[in-house]
Amino acid sequence: MIRISTPMIQQSGTNTLLQDESNLYQVQQQLSTGRKVNTAGDNPLAAVQAIEVAAQESVNSQYAANQTQATNHLSLAESSLGSVQNVLQQVRQSLVQAGSGALSASDRQTIAQSLQQDYSQLLSLANGRDTDGTYLFGGYNQTTQPFTSTATGARYNGDQGVRQLQVASGATMAISANGAQIFQMVRTGNGTFGAAQAAGNTGTGTIDQGSVTDYSKLTGDTYSINFAVAASGTTYSVLDTTKGTTVVAATPYTSGGAIDFAGMQVSVTGAPAAGDSFTVAPSTNQDVFTTIDQAISAIGASQASPASQAAYTTQVGAAIANIDQALGNAIAARSQVGANMQELSSLGTSTSSANVSIQSQLSSLTSVDYASAITQYMSAQTAYQAAQSTYAKFAQTDLFQTI
């Protein structure tokens, strides 16, 4: 037989009262905070899940912030590259004008001044800063001015890096464009090879920058096109100066006609003198500032003789070809920046959708359903009040009162 003593009954009543009070307090907390899980003890499983989902929300929010930061960087870079493109197009127009025919000294001075202004503007853009004060085109080196003007062009002080930022899980994105690739690594000539005339030429022959006719035949050697003049007419021969071999024997020359060899084609126009020669060599990197500086010098030089005029025409043609290569660099860099911005826009949409899903999941785990909570509160309050009343009556009853 189990005996139930008065203290045991009192303890049971006290426990019931305390439990009802705890239930009431828990619902009150939910209503006041708007959260149905305020401590891990409220719902251990939901609490663990909520922590995991909150961690996902934090990571997702950081990706969203990184995407905004990347968009800001790229927007400024895109704008700057657009300005670079405009300046280079202005330079090209000036060079075309400079090579369009005989110019007066005043004309040459005007074009040279315009090119000098373009040079200064381009250098300023190359040394442009981001909104945080760092340099746009210095690579990883963000605090050192990328380009310093020299007597013959500009020196690059940055590195070959491109800054990256993680914008999604497992996805990093370039948020800058490298100045060396845009302004320094400009291929001379047509990008594969370049042509120039010998300094001692005395005729009026000029050479264009040509084109590639068969990439499989390119050798990477340097060639010399040499002219001879006889009573029967002018001929040319082509010598591979790298190997010391003749690749085209004496061939009749026609002004403007194509000269083909080793997968390349060039055209010489005018009347080369006996002993005149032209060099065709693999393209090298030449910074765009050097190209503009050389063009300014060529425009300022005397063009008193037909030979000097021919040399000038060839130099201007080479400068135009180099500027075209620089324009290609700027356009390619700008296109890549634009593609990155487009990708960021898509990632932003995905990140926003993921955020909505995460917040909905977190809300279902932690947020209070007020209608349900109010019902629970009323029920808990009624139970608590009933327990209080019952306990109070019981506490006033003992064996002596019964006797």
User: How far, in Å, CA of 47 to CA of 34, rounded?
Assistant: 15
Task: Tell me how far apart the alpha carbons of residues 335 and 126 are, in angstroms, rounded to a whole number.
Answer: 17
- Within a domain: residue 388? no
The phi and psi torsions of 44 (rounded to 5 degrees) equal -55, -45
Chain centre distance of CA 46 = 43
231 and 147 fall within a common domain: no
Strand pairing class (277-282; 223-230): antiparallel
| Chosen domain end from 283, 314, 348 | 283
171 plus 294 within the same structural domain = yes
Cα within 13 Å of Cα(17), Cβ side? 15
Question: Which of 283, 311, 333 finishes a domain?
Answer: 283
Residue where one domain finishes, among candidates 252, 283, 314: 283
Question: Please, are residues 233 and 296 in contact by the beta-carbon 8 Å criterion?
Answer: no
Q: Are residues 270 and 136 in the same domain?
A: no
Q: What pLDDT digit, counting tens, does each position of 370-391 carry?
A: 455 455 555 655 655 555 555 5
Same domain as 316, residue 263: no
Same domain, 180 and 253: no
Q: Which CA distances in Å does 192 have to 17, 107, 212?
A: 91, 33, 8
Average pLDDT, the chain: 82
pLDDT score, position 400: 44
> pLDDT, tens digit, for every residue of 313-369?
999 999 999 999 999 999 999 999 999 999 888 887 776 666 666 666 655 555 554
Q: Is the dihedral of CA 213, 217, 219, 221 positive or negative?
A: negative
CATH number, residue 335: 1.20.1330.10
Collapsed DSSP state (helix, strand, coil) of residue 208? coil
Are residues 162 and 43 part of one domain? yes
Each residue of 270-284: pLDDT tens digit? Answer: 999 999 999 999 999
**From residue 364, how far is each of 17, 131, 343, 368 by CA, in Å?**
31, 40, 32, 8
Complete DSSP assignment for 358-384: HHHHHHHHHB--HHHHHHHHHHHHHHH
pLDDT tens-digit map of 87-133: 999 999 999 999 887 778 889 899 999 999 999 999 999 999 988 88
- Report how many domains make up the chain: 2
- Both 198 and 314 in one domain: the answer is no
pTM: 0.76
Cβ(226)–Cβ(270) below 8 Å: no
